[in-house]
Structure 1
């Protein structure tokens, strides 16, 4: 409603046409059928003839180029990023084919991706036909494409079958994380997907612990957002507790049965909305149709209960276990810094090592790691984020120049909140406010709203 008059609720869908005039030398793109070249007169016409909810109506304008990476896939980016983006996302067609093989034909004609400026406060936004993506996933080695798999999965869960209200947000995101994991397993193997699931579980446990201390009801899958900002529900609960609930369903009935159920669910409810109570009825009729199955799953504990139920599926990754063993050996002095297999690790393993370092690790110990492996200079933003957060907690000053440039250049809220929060928690609020004063003019209003509150920023 901030830019067009509409009924701004996820439970209401509409089609649209748009006629947009922009400055010459720029291209307009929408969640619709899109151009692939700039119009000389700056005029663009758009049609979206498939009904979508208002949150999926999107418009972007900029000096961008288009590059095809497959028969139904392509990327848009500014000229200085287009080559890197085309390389990074070259496997999008393969991801799309894997998704179709799992849960049915892609319904939106094309799957293209637009790389937004670094101020974009989210990882991605699943607009039909034109995913918005942060440039922070361009790592040079295609290691962060799980985010693309996630936004692609939304083409079924969310875009095709949409949560009726924001209280039902888990029906979008829990299904999407499950689907994302299945795409990653299909394309890159079970070993990679289980590493991702292990990291998700670690983050979920941490967030559940935090929320249980303040508002246990916010750990329910079915949320309670009346008279609240829907943003309050965008936590790991909807995403990862939702994922583990669906994983429990799969493990309870078997993968083949669950895949058939999920494919039929998407087909039966395409271009419509779903709420939690209706989904429970559908689940009981079409999948959990015996008292034994219902007792095994315990729907009430998962959907309406706090925390993580006792029957949460366990995840395991031999590679992550070896990282944990290396970390323990390094912290105890049984393994030297130079003997760490850092160069053999993929990003998930490096992230696990850094994010599990003891908060009380000394600056000298971080200096050893940095000297051996040049972690401060990494081009992988997930690894860099974990390193910078630990650098703050260990007061490792040599990383602070990179910390400042990272926070000034990048506005992704997933990174900002923990980093500024770590500075506050470690009595470095003055540093946080000095950097924020430099960075704030570059941030999106979504990010400044969160950071202003966190830092008690005047105004």
Structure 2
């Protein structure tokens, strides 16, 4: 497989590789710091190795010991988003294939970008503090000195000291707990991850958690106020797991637990092995948003098992995961439903391309991230442009059953490895060696290396989409005198997914008159809907149509949860509405200290607000 450089990492992973990580951590809520000792088992990849380089960000390094011998180290110049390289001098030369154990004693800082520390008042229970991590894409270096690149995978073992009244969980199998011998008010929780993972999948949560078992290998965790609601919402998890196994082979991670995080979690879900993190915005009450769980389950194969080697090849993770997610949905519901989700995905892609600009190189399927923060590059492009490409190839190469055969073989061939697009493409040509003439007709440059929308739109079954299109066109074309023709019956036959699509279609049209959105509220009462996907699109539509009464509702949704999918578009719409702009900026500045560090940074950019020096409470 091709050798590449990771532009997002300082670590010289071609000269040496971490094989195992042994962590001893102490979580201190009083000062919002994790004290750590990381013992890294490192294998030399070359002869005469004299120096190691690890990624760090805002870490205080106290001491480095190599095979029991204290050694010299230095921190290089701090980069704006990559942190600072930790350079370690080895006491003696290492030869190729030789192992060494490097112990680094360190503390995190309260500004660690991977961590959000919540005081009790920002939790559901209001009694205990809460901590959670989010290491993707390049934030693991802010809690552990590491080779923070998806090119390197390692196993890990962790012992975590936490207040004894709280629960600690990690992206690993629980390996028991015991009283902390150094502090009677604390306990040590132990975890073991025996499947090698990239650093971005290291995860830690500490809080007042309760659990409910919902399947033979799945437990749902959250604060007690949400745990029963979550147990119902995610009750289909085992059937999704079994469907994925039927499609692409055995699930290798053992446990598949779910954790519902506090509302400030910036993503819909995070596929941490053995412990998927999810946002509470999925709790719609009717399981209508459970496709996010199918997506995170799919990552157990596409991303966690076979991983993009650098973030420039992120589509290998996300495009394949969306493809597998929708195959799961197609099996559980219908093939029409799979196509309907694909139609919605194409719309998401158009929205992202419109936001970036059709000539922006970050809309390439394989962009260059040289001096580009992966968080700033993050969008639905690798998800939906990647899916559209795979869906197009499926239609060219013989249909869904034939293409899932390729996907299963691909995952088997590259299991436990990190790869780039050329590795995938070479395997595609090898697998479909009898259809090379078809592959040669694919416009690879236009799909992979050109900005904007794909060169070809795949063919979709529009059965479920047509009702949404018809209703959206009625509203778009309605004169003021036609508004009385709309009533609550319009939505009766539309599922939650179709209602989302209806609003998404209106967001692609010229803004409606305010009279229309007022009438829509009268007859459909979208303000009362709990489904976050519907609510976010509805409020964006209202603000875009310049309905001033919706401003406080949009600000409320933008700040009561921190999911970037909702928060950023809502704030952007408010900023573009002259009568809401100043209030949007004031509201953001008021809430910024309580937001996740990544959310605060990205929304600040959207609102053209100077970055804060700290996001402390």
Alignment TM class, shorter chain as reference: over 0.9
Q: Under a length normalisation based on structure 1, what TM-score does the superposition of the two structures give?
A: 0.94
- In structure 2, the residue matched to 1:451 is 603
Q: Under a length normalisation based on structure 2, what TM-score does the superposition of the two structures give?
A: 0.71
Q: Does 1:300 align with 2:445?
A: yes
- In structure 2, the residue matched to 1:27 is 167
Shift in Å, 1:322: 1.4
Q: Counterparts of 2:589 and 2:364 in 1: how far apart (Å)?
A: 37
Equivalent residues of 2:178, 2:189 under 8 A apart: no
Unaligned 5+ runs, structure 1: none
Q: 2:349 aligns with which of 201, 204, 209?
A: 204
- In structure 2, the residue matched to 1:15 is 155
Q: 1:426 aligns with which of 570, 577, 586?
A: 577
Bigger mean CA deviation after superposition, 354-363 or 48-57: 354-363
Shift in Å, 1:124: 0.9
Q: 2:292 aligns with which of 126, 139, 147?
A: 147
Q: Deviations over 1:54-87 (max 9, x none)?
A: 0000000111111111111221011000010000
- In structure 1, the residue matched to 2:565 is 414
Q: Does 1:273 align with 2:425?
A: no
Tell me how many residue pairs correspond in the alignment.
458
Shift in Å, 1:33: 0.4
- In structure 1, the residue matched to 2:498 is 349
Moved over 6 A (4+): 35-40
Q: 1:405 aligns with which of 556, 575, 578?
A: 556
Q: 2:487 aligns with which of 338, 363, 383?
A: 338
Bigger mean CA deviation after superposition, 193-202 or 111-120: 193-202
Q: Counterparts of 1:89 and 1:204 in 2: how far apart (Å)?
A: 27
- In structure 2, the residue matched to 1:252 is 396
Q: RMSD of the TM alignment (CA)?
A: 2.1
Higher relative contact order (CA 8 A, sep 6+): 1
Equivalent residues of 1:13, 1:52 under 8 A apart: yes
SS in 2 for 1:67: strand
Measured at CA, do residues 284 and 443 of structure 1 come closer, stay the same or move farther in structure 2, by a change above 3 Å?
A: same
Q: Counterparts of 2:549 and 2:453 in 1: how far apart (Å)?
A: 39
Q: Counterparts of 1:412 and 1:213 in 2: how far apart (Å)?
A: 25
Unaligned 5+ runs, structure 2: 1-140, 180-184, 613-617
Larger radius of gyration: 2
Q: Deviations over 1:341-378 (max 9, x none)?
A: 22332222212222333443222221212122221111
Equivalent residues of 2:167, 2:208 under 8 A apart: yes
Shift in Å, 1:400: 3.0
Bigger mean CA deviation after superposition, 163-172 or 254-263: 254-263
Give the number of the structure whose residues are more often helix, by fraction. Answer: 1
SS in 2 for 1:132: strand
Shift in Å, 1:206: 2.9
Bigger mean CA deviation after superposition, 29-38 or 60-69: 29-38
Shift in Å, 1:425: 1.5
- In structure 1, the residue matched to 2:243 is 98
- In structure 2, the residue matched to 1:393 is 544
Q: 2:383 aligns with which of 222, 227, 239?
A: 239
SS in 2 for 1:34: strand
Q: Deviations over 1:145-172 (max 9, x none)?
A: 1111111100001100011111111111
Equivalent residues of 2:529, 2:535 under 8 A apart: yes
